[in-house]
């Protein structure tokens, strides 16, 4: 399926759009292709687009003071990725966003999106709903991160995102789950 078809289908899972609204919306997005390992957003740049993943897989991560990477988020087809803090506050990003596979994203500039919010109420509703859900699932992750053991977190991740586990390196999963790759490796051994 074409990237923009995917996006439209994705939007219509949550809100109602007329044909003419759909045209306006889709025309606001530009396609961007990324090679494996290519970086979509660099630390220090200001994020100025929202990005819908049409194909492929990305991660958002940051480097701490000791230059260690921490994976904040994965994204696959049908998800949105960004350094949202940078996007919302227009300050330099603290995160990188990087393709882990050949990837296609659809980007909309924040000015254009602001225009859509004013013109097409369904778009404002779409993002209101999107953020509500995102908040709830992030809260779930936070609670897990703080109160569950490494093994429990891994098992939950595996049952929830089996597809992602198979597509990304194990050390990135470890990082996403807040443990060392060595510990995850040992833990996995014990499971079998």
Which helix (H) or strand (E) covers residue 96, if one does? strand 96-99
User: Can you tell me the distance from the alpha carbon of 185 to that of 53, in angstroms, rounded to the nearest whole number?
Assistant: 30
Contact 14, 130 (CB under 8 A): yes
Task: Name the residue nearer to DNA (CB basis): 112 or 150.
Answer: 150
Task: Name the residue nearer to its own copies (CB basis): 104 or 184.
Answer: 184
User: Can you tell me the distance from the alpha carbon of 156 to that of 162, in angstroms, rounded to the nearest whole number?
Assistant: 10
CB atoms inside a 10 Å sphere around CB 2: 10
Segment 99-138, which members bind its own copies (CB under 8 A)?
Answer: 117, 121, 124-125, 127-128, 131-136, 138
Contact 175, 70 (CB under 8 A): yes
Q: Does 160 bind its own copies (CB under 8 A)?
A: no
Which helix (H) or strand (E) covers residue 124, if one does? helix 121-147
- Spell out, one character per residue from 28 to 57, where the chain touches DNA: x when CB under 7 A holds, - when not: --------x---------------------
Q: Least distance (Å) from DNA to the CB of residue 146? A: 9
Among 111, 146, 159, 191, binds its own copies (CB under 8 A): 146
Return the structure tokens found at 89: 């506050």
Task: Name the residue nearer to its own copies (CB basis): 3 or 153.
Answer: 153
Q: Does 170 bind DNA (CB under 7 A)?
A: yes
Is the dihedral angle over the CA atoms 101, 127, 133, 42 positive or is it negative?
positive
* Choices 77-85, 89-97, 136-144, 164-172; region in contact with DNA by CB under 7 A: 164-172
In the complex, which residues of this chain contact its own copies (CB under 8 A)? 62, 64, 70, 72, 84-85, 88, 117, 121, 124-125, 127-128, 131-136, 138-143, 145-147, 178
């Amino acid at each position: 399926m074409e990237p923009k078809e995917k996006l439209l289908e994705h939007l219509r899972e949550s809100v109602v759009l007329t044909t003419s609204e759909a045209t306006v919306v889709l025309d606001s997005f530009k396609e961007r292709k990324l090679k494996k390992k290519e970086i979509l957003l660099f630390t220090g740049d200001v994020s100025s687009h929202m990005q819908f993943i049409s194909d492929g897989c990305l991660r958002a991560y940051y480097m701490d003071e000791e230059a260690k990477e921490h994976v904040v988020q994965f994204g696959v087809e049908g998800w949105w990725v960004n350094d949202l803090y940078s996007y919302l506050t227009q300050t330099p990003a603290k995160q990188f966003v990087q393709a882990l596979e050949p990837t296609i994203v659809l980007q909309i500039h924040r000015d254009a999106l602001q225009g859509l919010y004013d013109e097409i109420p369904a778009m404002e509703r779409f993002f209101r709903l999107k953020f509500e859900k995102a908040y709830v699932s992030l809260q779930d992750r936070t609670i897990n991160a703080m109160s569950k053991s490494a093994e429990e977190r891994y098992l939950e991740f595996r049952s929830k995102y089996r597809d992602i586990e198979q597509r990304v390196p194990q050390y990135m999963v470890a990082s996403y789950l807040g443990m060392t790759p060595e510990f995850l490796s040992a833990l996995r051994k014990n499971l079998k």
